[in-house]
Structure 1
Amino acid sequence: MTHHYSHLLPPSWKSQVAVWLAEDTPSFDYGGFVVGEAPRKAFLLGKGSKRAVLAGTPFVDEIFRLLDCTVEWHISEGDEFEPIKHVATVLGKARYLLLGERIALNLLARCSGIATASRDRCDFSSKRTKDLAESYGFRGIIAGTRKTTPGFRLVEKYGMLVGGIDPHRFDLSSMIMLKDNHIWSAGSITAAIARARQVGGFSLLLDVEVRDEEEANEAIAAGADVIMLDNIEGSELASVARRLRERWSGGQEKKKFLLETSGGITESNLGERAISEIDILSTSSVHQSVQHIDFSLKIQMSPKVVA
């Protein structure tokens, strides 16, 4: 059975597309008046200067479906392409093609940019992120973050999935993450974890941000599932991770947990962070300030033009 990324999308996602259309044309469609409703064919072209990953096709399909247009894709979601590539053909009335044009292009540009960065560069280098990380001995999970654009998170997290990385928690309700402000407000790591467990129950993982080894030990003892070693770098990260593993690996104190590194990850320090002792490497570089992929929609001239 074939599984498509679109099968992940919630029932509510299509209503968001209608909101995008309403935002872009809140009153009169002056340009649409000029072109009218003659049937036309438009080519969707993947441009730019480098290889890219196509992502966002379900959203584009829905944009044009609401405008009574049809989209025929010539490559599939997640496929890589070299510019300039004729990725799809869109059929419909001229003014409806243009009503959906900019929304579709903006969405594809952002979503495909995130998918491309996730799969290939991660803003670290021209080498694939996973290959680069594995060259340092890393065999764990590369994940995004919740630092997404308000109102556009579904598309951005979707782009991460198409690109092949873990999207991390989707929102505040999908995993409990306790950061410095939670801990300071609660009084201690132990108190914060106890309160979280009281309401979160057994079904939600608990990720706790710590600043040093002492805080990490407190979080593990209190029952955290994931320990985020925030901004701990270099040889300190490796030594702290090893000592935590050794302390909690057996005996009466045996605990199961994952170690996560996050914060300020760049190409220059990736080798220090992507180490075998770490389970999760989370970074916002795959969705914040990524280079968009350039797409254009070109309506083809009718063979008979009436003056």
Structure 2
Amino acid sequence: MTTPSLPALLIEPLVRATLVEDLGRAGDITTDAIVPATAKAETVLVARQPGIVAGLDLAATAFRLVDPAIKIEVERPDGTRLAPGDRIATIAGPARGMLTAERVALNFLGHLSGVASAAATLVEAVRGHKARICCTRKTMPGMRAVQKYAVRVGGGSNHRFGLDDAVLIKDNHVAVAGGIGPAIRAARDGVGHLVKIEVEVDTLAQLDEAMAIGVDAVLLDNMTPEQLTQAVRTIDGRAIAEASGRITPQTAPAIAASGVDLISAGWLTHSVSVLDIGLDWRS
């Protein structure tokens, strides 16, 4: 399934702000001094390592904002699996604009492709089980929408986007409220009828307490596969079962085998490695 592109209205301010940060007070003084204003060029975006491409719209926006005369022809769109040496897109037009936008374009493209590739790795690790891979709110400041988009490109799913679209009762909320029961009841009294409520539990005893009251989802934090299996039996389809903590491609299969519905991993967005993509000069 193809992931719908993000609206230009959403990504353009982010790309524009990043270009302004890079251009500083005087613009690209290196390129302006060396490259004639009339120079034309053709370059190609090329994968240096295997992975999933994501973020081409942001890269293209960077080039077009610097110089609308730059043309981008995409050969391998977002979601395409890449091998080293694969050509992703051809870029042609004024050389100055191409060089000025290059780093911003590659920063977005490499990072978001890294996010998509990491998500795809976890998705593959749990193949054959019902569990879906999810990201979290542990995103880079200002990058949440595009990072969550990249997770979807890699085959993963999104958790809540912010503090305002779902209730997630965590351990500190429970501590302030005086227990899981009071926290759930206060949340139910304080939000609208369409807002789902999830509670984080660390033990099977806490899970029993939460299920006795009733919630929409339970976040089973840092439980062993054996504990997760018991937790899924206790939940018995009455709520969504989500596992988190110590999620890696190596641990994910056993966690998925417990029968949980979701597996969430914060590192997909807060500490993922970039995918190495280069801009090669052709003329």
User: Same fold by TM-score, threshold 0.5 exceeded?
Assistant: yes
Q: Secondary structure in 1 aligned to 2:257?
A: coil
Q: Secondary structure in 2 aligned to 1:5?
A: coil
Q: Cα deviation per residue 1:36-88 (whole Å; 9 max; x = unaligned)? A: 32242332332323x22111011112112212122111122211121212211
For the Cα contact (< 8 Å) 1:141–1:281, is it kept in 2? yes
Give the letter aligned to residue 36 of structure 1: P
For the Cα contact (< 8 Å) 1:39–1:91, is it kept in 2? no
Q: Secondary structure in 2 aligned to 1:287?
A: helix
Give the letter aligned to residue 38 of structure 2: A
Q: 1:169-208 to 2 correspondence within 5 Å?
A: 169-208=160-199
Give the letter aligned to residue 201 of structure 1: G
Q: Secondary structure in 2 aligned to 1:296?
A: strand
CA RMSD in angstroms comes to 2.1
Identity, in percent, stands at 32
Q: Which entry has the higher C-alpha Rg, 1 or 2?
A: 1
Partner of 2:59: 60
Partner of 2:214: 223
Partner of 1:283: 265
Q: 1:246-265 to 2 correspondence within 5 Å?
A: 256-265=238-247
Partner of 2:48: 48
User: Compared with structure 1, are the counterparts of its residues 141 and 267 closer, same or farther at alpha carbon in structure 2 (3 Å cutoff)?
Assistant: closer
Offset of residue 14 of structure 1: 1.5
Offset of residue 179 of structure 1: 0.6
Among 127, 133, 136, the alignment partner of 2:126 is 133
The number of equivalent residue pairs is: 279
Give the letter aligned to residue 46 of structure 1: V
Give the TM-score normalised by the residue count of structure 2.
Answer: 0.90
Partner of 1:252: none
Give the letter aligned to residue 228 of structure 1: L
For the Cα contact (< 8 Å) 2:2–2:79, is it kept in 1? no
Q: Secondary structure in 2 aligned to 1:43?
A: strand
Offset of residue 286 of structure 1: 2.8
For the Cα contact (< 8 Å) 1:143–1:280, is it kept in 2? yes
Give the letter aligned to residue 259 of structure 2: E
Give the letter aligned to residue 144 of structure 1: C
For the Cα contact (< 8 Å) 1:144–1:160, is it kept in 2? yes
Structure 2: 5+ residue stretches without partners? none
Partner of 2:9: 11
Offset of residue 214 of structure 1: 2.0
Partner of 1:272: 254
User: Compared with structure 1, are the counterparts of its residues 267 and 225 closer, same or farther at alpha carbon in structure 2 (3 Å cutoff)?
Assistant: same
Instruction: State how far apart, in whole Å, the 2-side matches of 1:10 and 1:93 are.
Output: 23
For the Cα contact (< 8 Å) 2:111–2:275, is it kept in 1? yes
User: Compared with structure 1, are the counterparts of its residues 10 and 238 closer, same or farther at alpha carbon in structure 2 (3 Å cutoff)?
Assistant: farther
For the Cα contact (< 8 Å) 2:228–2:258, is it kept in 1? no
User: Compared with structure 1, are the counterparts of its residues 222 and 93 closer, same or farther at alpha carbon in structure 2 (3 Å cutoff)?
Assistant: same
